[in-house]
Structure 1
Amino acid sequence: MPAPSSSSSDVLAALRAATGPRHAVLDSSMPLAKAHPSIDDYRDHLLLLHAWLGPIETWLAQFADGPQDSGVLSPIRRTPIIEADLAHASIAPVDAFAPVTFPPSPHSSRAYRWGVCYVVEGSQLGGAVLYKRLRAQLAPHPLQYLGGNGAPVGPRWQQFVQALQAHVTDHAAIAAACDGATDAFDTLLSLLPDQADQLAGSFTGRD
């Protein structure tokens, strides 16, 4: 792995700045944002994530470099975990959301994919927080997706951040990573009807 440059921390700061407003909107808009979410809210949360993450994972699986290099980060497909949670006996079946189109325009650069993966991997941290808050409330459902399928998310996140900072260091790469991250957020937000105005207004163009 390349050694981090003196400016490597800039990528993390840039990604946080680019995605911060979107992150705040998403955190307050997802089904599990309710004060006392039900198992039906968890189902709806999973359906949204499946429609979003499935196309992203399929697209990322085409590559074997950058964040898809198994020597950098072990590959994980999370859509089967979502599907297993949706199949649990406590979940009432409903129609799925139509999957998103990803990426919204052609992209293949490593830096762009690092930005996409920043959102995907970071979402697991939020899932771990929700798991601790909801595992008793939503029992007997095991909440495998929120719980990382039994694997701690902290060490993987630290490994990801270290690799991100080592590989995305120049200004052009950082800008491309921010594009990937904002596209990842915007495609998930597009599944939430109440956020149409946000996408058309506050988040127009690149941050």
Structure 2
Amino acid sequence: MSGPLLPDPAHERLTRLWQAHRPAGPWLPWDLKAVYQDRWVRFHSLPESKRYAQDEAEYAVLLDRYNTVLDELFGGGECYVVTTDWADPAEPTQWSHHRRALHPEGTVWTTLDETDDPDPECHTRWYFYADRRRWQRGGIDALLRAAADDSLPGVFVTDPDLTRIHHPYDGGADVILPTPGERDRMRDRHSAWLSAHPSGY
């Protein structure tokens, strides 16, 4: 791949919304819980806060938990499925190939230069890939499994207005709701999946 990487014009509206959230809005999905603390809840993906599934029965449990929440967030509507990559697309890593295989529908949405570290050698350019689709239960199970295994971090799903966001990862998922009240109601519906820690982590 050569030449400049141009964002997909179909994602322009999503980009405008994302930029409208700055500087408050997060650009990396693991920042969500800090930025939207008042609308955030974490659900564990396995009983007793177990971090990784060890057999198909446990994968069935975590996929059911992920999909149950995703159904509540996006059922009957459309959503964006987003994956991230830190590698230059001109020099793809094995992770890049893995991401593309799991998310072939994703087209480049935007990039982010992470330059907080004073050492330029530690600066990272993140690439975000997105596709807009009608939500269907089970439709992203391969991505959810990869996120749960930590073999493809940086996956998230959002509604087109960026008010409902689901970020799965090894051990659970961060969920952002439009209001604290909606967050509380979802948290109460799935109280058995919550962390016992007072902070919710």
TM-score, normalised to structure 1's length? Answer: 0.35
Q: TM-score, length-normalised on structure 2?
A: 0.36
Greater RCO, CA 8 A, separation 6+ = 1
Higher helix content, 1 or 2: 1
